[in-house]
Structure formats: C-alpha cells, structure tokens
Structure 1
Amino acid sequence: MKIVSLNGWGGKLHEDLTAYLRSEAPDILCLQEVVHTPDTEKDWLTYRDGDHVLQQRANFFRDIARTFPDHQATFCPASRGVLWDGAQAVPSQWGLATFVHRSLPITEQAQGFVHKAFSPHGYGEHPRSRNAHAIRVYDVEKGRYVCIAHMHGLRDLQGKTDTPARRQQAHRLVDLIRRVADPDDGLIVCGDFNVEPDSETFAILGRLGLTDLVTSRGFQGTRTSHYAKPGRFADYMLVNERIEVLTFSVVVEPEVSDHCPLVLTI
C-alpha cells in the first residue's frame, strides 16, 4: 500500500503536480490546501490577501478526482472565502481532500477542526480555521485495518514556534484519531503541521505510539525552492509500531508545490 501526503499549494503547479501524482499512483492520497469552486468553469482564479497574491487552480479538487477515477474522493472544507476573476469575486471553498482506491473499503471516518471552526463568510483572520480527516480502511491483501489521518496545521504569522493554540491543535487531532482508530490498528498520521521538528506536537502525538519518519530518518527539510523563507520543515509523516515501513521518501524532484511530497510504502 502506498500513501502520499502533499500540500498542493492550491494547484499552482497544476500540470507538473497531476503528472507526478499520476506516475506515483498512490493507493491513498492525503492532500492539503485544496481549492473547490463548483460554481465556476474557470481553470484559474486569484487569491488575494494584502500583498500576498497567488494563482489558484479553481477546481483543484475536481481535477485531482478526475486524475484518479478509481479512487473515492472526499473534500473536507475548512472555510468559504473569495477568489478573484479579475475584478469579479467568486465564492470558493478551501480545505483538505483524501483520495482512497476503491479496493480499500473505508469502514470508519471522521473529519473535524483542530483550530477554530468552519468559516462560512470569508477565510477569517490569521491564524485561520484548520481541519483534519481520519479514515480507517481494511487492507484486504494483508487482512488488517489501517488508520490514516492528516491535517493542515494552523499558520501563525509569528512563526512556527509552540503556542497554546498549537498545543490544543495537537490534542484535538489525537481526539479525532481516537474516534476512528482501534488500539490494534496500524496508524499513520501526516500532513503539513506548520511546526518545527522540536515542537511539543510530537510529544503529544507520541502518546499514540507514533514516531516521525521525516526527522528520524535524517531528511533535511520538506520545502522546495519555491519557498524562499527560512525554516525548511513543515510536513511530517508518523507511524506506530504496527506499520511495517518498506520505503519512505521526501521527494525533492520533481518540484510540484512549495512543499515536497511524502511517500510511504507499507
């Protein structure tokens, strides 16, 4: 079973990203920063937040779902704000998406918020609403249950240091996982956590018996050349002792986002 976790950057590098994902062919894809604008047929819209202007793939969720027609696609909205078509405001949803090959029965799942709540009338003030999604699948080939959870951690304009909000975020993620996972399940937790490697987030997740693969295997970061700020870590993938890791990699090339894909085969 192959699991890929990636912050998709709103599909800014859409063609390279879809080509890469098609070639990687994950059984489970955990995708963060997903745009979903079902009321437009436009390919591209613009996100504006002060001086921060970014092209976004208007129907990123639909595009990836079409890339993987044999996967069950789930979109988990964190907020509903506005993107721009020139001077015209276009309401759009933003959040997480999970794609699971139909050969893997999803027996339980839960989505919920790790910071704030759903924001229906705009993206809101920073740090904005953040959510998580957990699924429990039955691996028919191995005769076992595996739980996979991913989140997009809050972005604080002050940086990635530990804060009370990030502590609460980690506890909320643990609570969400416990709603879905059985104690005997193999457990994988991944995503763009937006924290440093020494964050207390990992001590909190460690209570579930989880160990991070990015830092424990000596990778030097998870950001690409498209990210010019200091601090090279954001994305992580943790597993418990019931997961037999066959391969794990932080993919540096090709660059398909400002984040590197994390690829795990179990």
Structure 2
Amino acid sequence: MEIMCLNGWGGKLHEALVPYLARTSPNILCLQEVIHSPKSEKDWLTYQDGDHILPQRANLFRDISTVLPEHVAIFCPAAQGVLWDDDTSIPSQWGLATFVHRSFPIIGQVQGFVHKDYSPVGYGDHPRSRSAHGVRIWDYDANRAVSITHMHGLRDLNGKMDTPERARQAHKLLDMSRSLTEPDDLTVICGDFNVEPDSETLSILCSAGLTELVTGRGFDSTRSTQYKKPGRFADYMLIDREDAVNNFEVIHDPEVSDHCPLVLKV
C-alpha cells in the first residue's frame, strides 16, 4: 500500500500537481490546503489577506477527483470565506481532503477540528480553524486494517514555536486517531503540522509510541525551492510499527507545491 501526504498549496502549481497525482495515483492521498468553490466555474480565483495575495485553483477538489476516478474522494472543510474574481467575491471553502482507492474498503472514519471550529462566514483571524480527518481501511494484501489520520496544523503569524494551542491540537489529533484505531491496526499519522522537528507536537505524538519518519530517516527538508522563507520543515509522517515500513521518501522532484510529497509504502 502506498500512502502520500501533501500540502497542495491551493493548487498554485496546478499544471505540475495534477499530472503528478494522476501518474502516481497513490492508494491513499492525504491532501491539505484544498479549495472547493461549488458556486464558481472559474479555473482560478485569488486569495487576498492584506498584502498576501495568492492565486488559487478554484475547484482543486474537483480537479483531483477527476484525475483519480477510481478513488473515493472526501472533502473536509475548515472554513468558508471568499476568493476573488477581479472585483467579485466568490464563496469558497478551504480545508483538506482524503482520497482512497476503491480497492481498499473504508471501514471507519473520523472528522473533526484540532483548532477552533468550522468558520461559516469567513476564514477568520489567525490562527485560523484547522481540521483533521482519518480513515480506517482494510488492506487485503497485508490482511490487516490500517488507520490513517492527517491534519493541517495551525499557522501562527509569530512563527512555528511551541504554544499551548499547538500542544492542544496535537492531543486532539492523537485522540482522533485513537478513536478510529483498533488494537491490531497499523497506525499512521501525518500532515502539514507547521512545526519544527524539535517541537512539543512531535514529542507528544512520539511519546504515544509513534516513530517520526522524516528526520528519523535522515531527510533534511520537506520544502521545495518554491518556499523562500527560513525553516525547511513543516510536514511529517509517523507510524506505530516501523518494521512495517517498506519504503519512505520525501519527493523533491518534481516540484508540485511549496511542500514536498511524503510517500510511505507499507
């Protein structure tokens, strides 16, 4: 089984991202920063937050669903705000999505918030609402259940330092995974955590018996060259049985986002 975790950057590198996902077609895709604008047929809209202006693929969720037709697609919104078509505001939902190949039955799910709650009338003040989603699937080749839970960790404008809010979201993420997982399951937790490798977030998760694979396997970055700020880590993949890992990679080429895909084979 192949599990991919990626922050899609709102589809900014759409021309590279969509063909890459169509070609690789991971069994399980955990995708953060997904845009869903059901009232718009536009290909592109614009996100505006003060001086921060970013092109957004208006219906990234639809785009990925289209190129992964053999996957069950699940969108989990964190907020609905507006994107812009020139001077026209367009209601647009923002969140994360999970894609599961139909050959892997989904036998359990959990969805919820690790920071704040759903924001129905705007993206909200920073740090904004953050959601998480987990699926429990049956792997017939390995004859076992696998629990996979991912989140998009809160973004603090002051940086990636430890905060009480980040500690609480780590505990909430762990609680969500535990609520989904049965005793004999293989357990995976992943996502764009928005923290550094020495963070309290990772300490909380590792103290629960999980092994962190990014730095644990010697990778020195999860960011592509598209990311121009200091700090080379944001994304992590953890597993409860490291002996189940057949391969783990951080993919730097091709560049499909300002984040790198994390790819785990178990």
Question: With structure 2 as the length reference, what TM-score do the two structures score?
Answer: 0.98
> How many correspondences in the alignment?
266
Residue of structure 2 in register with 1:147 after alignment:
147
Residue of structure 1 in register with 2:259 after alignment:
259
Residue of structure 1 in register with 2:75 after alignment:
75
The Cα shift of 1:242 comes to 6.5
The Cα shift of 1:207 comes to 3.5
* 2:196 maps to 1:169: no
Residue of structure 1 in register with 2:134 after alignment:
134
Q: Partner of 1:209: helix, strand, or coil?
A: coil
Contact kept in structure 2, 1:187 and 1:243, CA below 8 Å? no
CA distance in 2, matches of 1:109, 1:243: 25
The root-mean-square deviation of aligned C-alpha atoms, in Å, is: 0.9
CA distance in 1, matches of 2:263, 2:23: 13
Contact kept in structure 2, 1:72 and 1:101, CA below 8 Å? yes
What are the within-5 Å matches in structure 2 for residues 54-203 of structure 1?
A: 54-203=54-203
Residue of structure 2 in register with 1:220 after alignment:
220
What do the CA deviations read for 1:181-226 (whole angstroms, capped 9, x no partner)?
Answer: 1122101111100000001111211243111100101111101111
Residue of structure 2 in register with 1:38 after alignment:
38
Residue of structure 1 in register with 2:234 after alignment:
234
What do the CA deviations read for 1:149-175 (whole angstroms, capped 9, x no partner)?
Answer: 100000000000100000000011011
Letter in 1 for 2:187: L
What do the CA deviations read for 1:56-96 (whole angstroms, capped 9, x no partner)?
Answer: 00000000000100000000000000000000000000000
Contact kept in structure 2, 1:16 and 1:256, CA below 8 Å? yes
5+ residue gaps, structure 2, are: none
Letter in 2 for 1:54: L
Identity %: 64
5+ residue gaps, structure 1, are: none
Letter in 1 for 2:142: K
Letter in 1 for 2:151: M
What do the CA deviations read for 1:228-256 (whole angstroms, capped 9, x no partner)?
Answer: 00000000000111761111110011110
CA distance in 1, matches of 2:5, 2:261: 6
